[in-house]
A and B are shown apart, each in its own frame.
Chain A
Amino acid sequence: MTVQLQPPFRYVGKKRRVREDRRFVAGGGHYAADLVLAGMLHCAPVQSEHPAARIVAIDASAALALPGVHAVLTGAQLAAASEPLMNGANTPLVVRYPLAVGQVRYAGEWVAMVVAETRALAEDARELVQVEYEQLPFVTDGEAAMVEGAPLVHPPHGSNVLLDRHFFWGPVEERFAAAPRKLAYRVRWARSSTVPLETFAVTAQWDASQDVLDVWASIQMPKFPDQIARSLRLPGNAVRVHYDVDVGGSYGVKRGIKHAVLVGHLARALGRPVRLVEDRLENMTGGDMQGPERVFDVELAYDDDGRVHAMKMRALDNVGAYAGRSPFQLGKPIGAIVGPYAIEAVEYHALAVASNKTPQEAVRGFGQAPTNYALETGIDKVAAALGLDRLEVRRRNFIRAEQFPYLIPSGTTYDSGNYHGLLEKTVAVADLFAERDALRAQGLLAGVGIASCLEPSGGNSSFEPLLNPMNRTTTWMESCRIHVDALGGITAAMHTTTSGQAHETLVSVAVAEVMEIPPERIRVIRPDSLASLPSNSPVGSRMAIMLGGAAVRAAQKLRAQLLAIAAHDLGVSPLELRYSEGDVHAADGRKLTWQELVVIAHREYFRLPPGVEPGLSASSIYMVPTGGELPKDDKVQMYPCHSFEFHYILVAMDRVLCRPQIRRYIIGHDCGQVISPDVVKGMTLGGIAHGIGAALLEEFSIDAQTGQPTAASFMDYLLPSAHEVPPVEIVHQTTRSPLTVFGQKGSGESGYLGSPAAIAGAINDALAPHGVRVDQLPMRPALLSDLLEGTHA
């Protein structure tokens, strides 16, 4: 059990500049595509033009004949030299390599990789690679893919269903039988993604005299070096991933394992450094970075007061052509399947279905935002069915503050929360219903949107053994190592990449708080993977909790070392000493300063306690505070901490043009003890903007007739611009987690988890007086207008 540091804090929660910003604002970030190595070669993939086809033959002779072209690697060649990529689900016959082997399974799939002296030349050469295809039947719709007789994406697997798990938590049928009211509905979450502005980039170099593969990659990927090594049949210590690369945004998707395996293989085979920087078209079609695509069928059993007692949810996710870890995005939401509501029993049917579409990758929230959208839609529907205020229905269903820690039916205990408190505080900011009515009086369509959601944070991987019993991994750690040099300087190491979450600032503040030394005096580094302790990378909204926890633990160990040295030197018990700002004070007024202690540790061995090793260094490999039990009876503790966000927004639109404008955006946010206020604010605003995209603009649409993507560039996949994102008013509440070092919870996914639900709710409130509603995203203007027109036809 973590011993929690209590406020008041010196540095935690205080306004402070984010140290990473200083280099970024001067153009001094070091991104993977910035690296230049002598003799470096460049890649361009040959992409499939068909959604499904047998590869009959690949003729690369004309491409290879171009001067400056070094190689054209095919899937068959790579498969012979590597192991398949990791499968998350228990689907051994769904085999995936970085390049298609024998068959292409989606339009845009990488079929071959051209390597040349320059990127432009590689693009010239790829046009000369002749691939002969024999087209096969294909299926792109998830539900159609489940129908008997549908074309099989992976025939050896025998079905397109990659995951089919049915859970029953609590007395579902009894509650449904007893409930006076029931409703059923369907919502659709379209395929979108996080779409960072930096595409995926990786450079690899094989050092044949040391047998080491150096990799610089824009990644946010747990166990990345291990996966490369395994696939390339190398020992784990023969892959050195450089974590000091700055990553140009990820929010989940920068996994890049296929890219790294490809480039690692090429670097070894060619004896030259090889770089692959996806261009935007390659990224959006063949970069395997698209997100969940869900159809939810939900039934709720509730009473006349609007209390929801039980839920049945079927979530069907069209994961695309390969599995990877994407089916697990149906698993994480199990840890908050009832949201902030005291729903007593849940039936959950998780279905991951393969289709001839681009494979999915992890997206901010790992499946939680779509699930929240489905649940919030239901709460709104309960209110509508009873003619009740939507706020009131939420108040009646919220778990009450005094009920925490609160065990939900699926096995997770929520750590802490005060949902009623934050709701009241947020709605007190403005009467959006009155503002809505004023807009309606002007002839506009206007609606208020409400969403109350949890952000499970501090990520473990408990959903993996829950969904795939073959997987027994429950260890999910983060690490920090602190070193004090002989001049007294403190250097703290973190052991993963970072993609904009200000982890260096986090570590410096956490260490500073314990050491009582200003954060500015603490250097934070990111050594390479061979010099690193175990990490699981910044996924699952975990780093404030996990990296913060590791940094505090390591600093506490260092502090104990200092006290032990001082106690020996002063001849007193450590318990009689007081640590203050680096110095150690004895009760009798004697003290040892930081510099004196450093000198003893580094230079004056004769003053060290017997058996104590020289130097000052400490590390922590910190485990998720709720531990790592295997699932039992289909239940498991998922993430330890649960942040809460309450969205309260106002949307208006013209009756015909129907372009939704967000007039007010108020969000109540509670992530426990805030460590870096500006960072948390940025995460929340960015998450809201991402949710605006998912709700209104973004979709990896596809032409069902041809299986071709119709949104493959920034011209047709629309990210919100500054015009589309309104000013956001944030209301803070601090409900500390009892589980973490400062009482903090996660905030890396905040905003996004509820904004699509809130926007959908607001639009439906605007449509409601006209007798129509929409239960699919994105809600494009034409869709809304056409629906309204239908009522008048």
Chain B
Amino acid sequence: MKPAPFEYIRAETVLQAQEWLAADPEARVIAGGQTLMPMLAMRLVRPTRVIDIAGIAGLDEIAVTADHVTLGAMVRQVAVERSAALAQALPLLSKAIRFVGHPPTRRRGTIGGSVANADPAAEIALVAMTLGAEVLTTADAFAARDFFLAPMTTALPAGAMVTGLRFPRVAAARRGTGFAEVAMRQGDYAMAAAACELVLGAGGEVPSLRLGIGGATPVPVLLDLAAPTRDAVAAALAPLEMMHDPNAGAGYRRRAALALAMQALDEAQREVMA
């Protein structure tokens, strides 16, 4: 199981990577490589050049400002897991990151790689969708809902690369988050997953609830909820297309999505109360 031949090159700047990508439509970016390497090994992708972006200065930075939390494309998943600043500013992502793969893959896997790959079961994409993040690319910034188009398919223009993920920061007096998923084995691709953030503003206004579903649907979905109730979640899930595979059919995924959404919501509510 060896890749087809390719040329390996290291980009030192985003501009350089961008130029190389523009010059060669068959070139691919490698970030952490945790998804690309198996695809290369199985010869499911056969790039002419593999552009390593790990050496680009600044791409591995986590920046927390008053309005945004920005993660560079090369931020390793383990860095999210270990970041005290993110646990504070973006607790849902900190919570979800522990569901991504296994410790060794999180040590190499990156934020940008996961986003660009657009696996429907990806927890990072689900959190991005749930919290209304923007995908930053060399071409443009995309709202998450405009970026993820279909399984393994994104709006990333040819020749462009993902450079980061930018989350809005919402001021909150109290915040609760919840994350739940079901997979065949712990750490496997989720058959269904749910992410929830519940925010109480300082002024006692109506709580803001964001509840997203992943794994079950072709792309992660932010549910349009009339109320934080089981019936409302079920109603929001009803029109959604569910995926199926030999492990789980659409019916199971729909029920699991509902159950997990309620678990995540419950967890978030308990955190807010606490």
User: Which interface class (under 10, 10 to 19, 20 to 34, 35 or more) fits A?
Assistant: 20 to 34
Q: Which of B29-51 contact A (CB under 8 A)?
A: 38, 42-43
Residues on B with C-beta less than 8 A from A325 are none
Residues on A with C-beta less than 8 A from B188 are 718
Once the chains bind, are B185 and A123 in contact (CB under 8 Å)?
no
Bound together, the chains give a CA A127 to CA B5 distance in angstroms of 13
Q: Which of A684-710 contact B (CB under 8 A)?
A: 697, 701, 710
Bound together, the chains give a CA A789 to CA B186 distance in angstroms of 24
Closest beta carbon of chain A to B67's beta carbon, Å: 38
User: Which interface class (under 10, 10 to 19, 20 to 34, 35 or more) fits B?
Assistant: 20 to 34
Tell me whether A120 and B184 are in contact in the complex, defined as CB-CB below 8 angstroms, given that A657-B259, A716-B246, A789-B251 are known contacts: no
Residues on A with C-beta less than 8 A from B248 are 780-782
| Identity of the chain A residue whose Cβ is nearest the Cβ of B182 in the assembled complex | A657
Tell me whether A697 and B184 are in contact in the complex, defined as CB-CB below 8 angstroms, given that A786-B249, A786-B251 are known contacts: yes
Bound together, the chains give a CA A782 to CA B254 distance in angstroms of 11
Contact of A724 among B42, B43, B186 (CB under 8 A): B186
Closest beta carbon of chain A to B154's beta carbon, Å: 21
Once the chains bind, are B2 and A657 in contact (CB under 8 Å)?
no
Interface residue A226 (Cβ < 8 Å from any Cβ of B) = no
Bound together, the chains give a CA A229 to CA B247 distance in angstroms of 44
Contact of A123 among B2, B184, B251, B260 (CB under 8 A): B2
Bound together, the chains give a CA A786 to CA B186 distance in angstroms of 21
Residues on A with C-beta less than 8 A from B2 are 119-120, 123
Tell me whether A785 and B42 are in contact in the complex, defined as CB-CB below 8 angstroms, given that A710-B246, A721-B186, A723-B186 are known contacts: no
Interface residue A659 (Cβ < 8 Å from any Cβ of B) = yes
Interface residue B59 (Cβ < 8 Å from any Cβ of A) = no
Interface residue A280 (Cβ < 8 Å from any Cβ of B) = yes
Interface residue A281 (Cβ < 8 Å from any Cβ of B) = yes
Closest beta carbon of chain A to B33's beta carbon, Å: 16
Residues on A with C-beta less than 8 A from B4 are 124, 127
Residues on A with C-beta less than 8 A from B259 are 654, 656-657
Interface residue B256 (Cβ < 8 Å from any Cβ of A) = yes
Closest beta carbon of chain B to A714's beta carbon, Å: 10
| Identity of the chain A residue whose Cβ is nearest the Cβ of B255 in the assembled complex | A656
Closest beta carbon of chain B to A770's beta carbon, Å: 15
Once the chains bind, are B255 and A789 in contact (CB under 8 Å)?
yes
Q: Which of A333-391 contact B (CB under 8 A)?
A: none
Tell me whether A711 and B246 are in contact in the complex, defined as CB-CB below 8 angstroms, given that A723-B185, A781-B182, A786-B252 are known contacts: yes
Q: Which of B228-274 contact A (CB under 8 A)?
A: 246-249, 251-252, 255-256, 258-260
Output the residue of B42, B187, B249, B255 with the most chain A CB within 10 A.
B255
Bound together, the chains give a CA A718 to CA B43 distance in angstroms of 22
Residues on B with C-beta less than 8 A from A120 are 2-3, 5
Interface residue B191 (Cβ < 8 Å from any Cβ of A) = yes
Interface residue A279 (Cβ < 8 Å from any Cβ of B) = yes
Once the chains bind, are A701 and B246 in contact (CB under 8 Å)?
yes
Once the chains bind, are A782 and B1 in contact (CB under 8 Å)?
no
Once the chains bind, are B185 and A782 in contact (CB under 8 Å)?
no
Closest beta carbon of chain A to B185's beta carbon, Å: 6
Residues on B with C-beta less than 8 A from A68 are none
Contact of B185 among A280, A710, A724 (CB under 8 A): A724
Tell me whether A780 and B255 are in contact in the complex, defined as CB-CB below 8 angstroms, given that A123-B2, A697-B185 are known contacts: no
| Identity of the chain A residue whose Cβ is nearest the Cβ of B259 in the assembled complex | A656
Residues on B with C-beta less than 8 A from A789 are 251, 255
Closest beta carbon of chain A to B265's beta carbon, Å: 15
Bound together, the chains give a CA A542 to CA B22 distance in angstroms of 64
Residues on A with C-beta less than 8 A from B255 are 656, 785, 789
Interface residue A720 (Cβ < 8 Å from any Cβ of B) = yes
Residues on B with C-beta less than 8 A from A127 are 4, 43
Bound together, the chains give a CA A568 to CA B156 distance in angstroms of 92
Contact of A782 among B3, B38, B187, B191 (CB under 8 A): B191
| Identity of the chain B residue whose Cβ is nearest the Cβ of A714 in the assembled complex | B38
Bound together, the chains give a CA A124 to CA B43 distance in angstroms of 10
| Identity of the chain B residue whose Cβ is nearest the Cβ of A279 in the assembled complex | B1
| Identity of the chain B residue whose Cβ is nearest the Cβ of A716 in the assembled complex | B246
Once the chains bind, are A280 and B5 in contact (CB under 8 Å)?
no
Once the chains bind, are B185 and A721 in contact (CB under 8 Å)?
yes
Residues on B with C-beta less than 8 A from A123 are 1-2, 43
Output the residue of A718, A723, A782 with the most chain B CB within 10 A.
A782
Residues on A with C-beta less than 8 A from B249 are 782, 786
Bound together, the chains give a CA A710 to CA B246 distance in angstroms of 8
Once the chains bind, are A718 and B185 in contact (CB under 8 Å)?
yes
Contact of A781 among B1, B246, B251, B252 (CB under 8 A): B252
Closest beta carbon of chain B to A720's beta carbon, Å: 7
Closest beta carbon of chain B to A563's beta carbon, Å: 58
Bound together, the chains give a CA A681 to CA B251 distance in angstroms of 42
Once the chains bind, are A781 and B184 in contact (CB under 8 Å)?
yes
| Identity of the chain B residue whose Cβ is nearest the Cβ of A710 in the assembled complex | B246
Closest beta carbon of chain A to B236's beta carbon, Å: 17
Residues on A with C-beta less than 8 A from B5 are 120, 124
Q: Which of A655-673 contact B (CB under 8 A)?
A: 656-657, 659
Q: Which of A769-793 contact B (CB under 8 A)?
A: 780-782, 785-786, 789
Tell me whether A657 and B256 are in contact in the complex, defined as CB-CB below 8 angstroms, given that A280-B1, A281-B1, A789-B251 are known contacts: yes
Output the residue of B191, B252, B256 with the most chain A CB within 10 A.
B252
Bound together, the chains give a CA A280 to CA B187 distance in angstroms of 21
Closest beta carbon of chain A to B175's beta carbon, Å: 26
Q: Which of B99-129 contact A (CB under 8 A)?
A: none
Once the chains bind, are B186 and A782 in contact (CB under 8 Å)?
no
Please, what's the 1-or-0 string for A636-668, where 1 marks a CB less than 8 Å from any CB in chain B? 000000000000000000101101000000000
Contact of A281 among B42, B184, B185 (CB under 8 A): B42
Bound together, the chains give a CA A780 to CA B3 distance in angstroms of 33
Output the residue of A701, A718, A720 with the most chain B CB within 10 A.
A718
Please, what's the 1-or-0 string for B151-195, where 1 marks a CB less than 8 Å from any CB in chain A? 000000000000000000000000000000010111110010000
Closest beta carbon of chain A to B202's beta carbon, Å: 37
Bound together, the chains give a CA A701 to CA B248 distance in angstroms of 13
Residues on A with C-beta less than 8 A from B1 are 123, 279-281
Closest beta carbon of chain A to B263's beta carbon, Å: 9
Please, what's the 1-or-0 string for A103-135, where 1 marks a CB less than 8 Å from any CB in chain B? 000000000000000011001100100000000
Closest beta carbon of chain A to B105's beta carbon, Å: 13
Bound together, the chains give a CA A721 to CA B251 distance in angstroms of 27
Closest beta carbon of chain A to B250's beta carbon, Å: 10
Tell me whether A720 and B252 are in contact in the complex, defined as CB-CB below 8 angstroms, given that A120-B2, A701-B246, A780-B247 are known contacts: no
| Identity of the chain B residue whose Cβ is nearest the Cβ of A722 in the assembled complex | B186
| Identity of the chain B residue whose Cβ is nearest the Cβ of A659 in the assembled complex | B182
Q: Which of A261-303 contact B (CB under 8 A)?
A: 279-281
Closest beta carbon of chain A to B34's beta carbon, Å: 12
Closest beta carbon of chain A to B8's beta carbon, Å: 14
Residues on A with C-beta less than 8 A from B186 are 721, 723-724
| Identity of the chain B residue whose Cβ is nearest the Cβ of A655 in the assembled complex | B259
Bound together, the chains give a CA A321 to CA B76 distance in angstroms of 46
Bound together, the chains give a CA A659 to CA B259 distance in angstroms of 13
Closest beta carbon of chain A to B19's beta carbon, Å: 29
| Identity of the chain B residue whose Cβ is nearest the Cβ of A784 in the assembled complex | B252
| Identity of the chain A residue whose Cβ is nearest the Cβ of B2 in the assembled complex | A120
Bound together, the chains give a CA A723 to CA B249 distance in angstroms of 24
Residues on B with C-beta less than 8 A from A724 are 185-186
Q: A120-B2, A657-B182, A786-B249 are in contact. List 14 more A-B contacts (CB 8 A).
A: A123-B1, A123-B2, A279-B1, A654-B259, A711-B246, A716-B246, A721-B186, A723-B186, A724-B186, A780-B184, A780-B247, A781-B247, A782-B247, A786-B252
Task: Show 14 A/B contacts (Cβ-Cβ < 8 Å), sorted by A.
Answer: A120-B3, A123-B1, A123-B2, A281-B1, A656-B258, A657-B259, A659-B182, A701-B246, A718-B184, A781-B184, A781-B252, A785-B255, A785-B256, A789-B255
The 8 lowest CB-CB distance pairs between A and B, nearest first, are: A782-B252, A120-B2, A782-B248, A279-B1, A723-B186, A656-B259, A657-B182, A701-B246
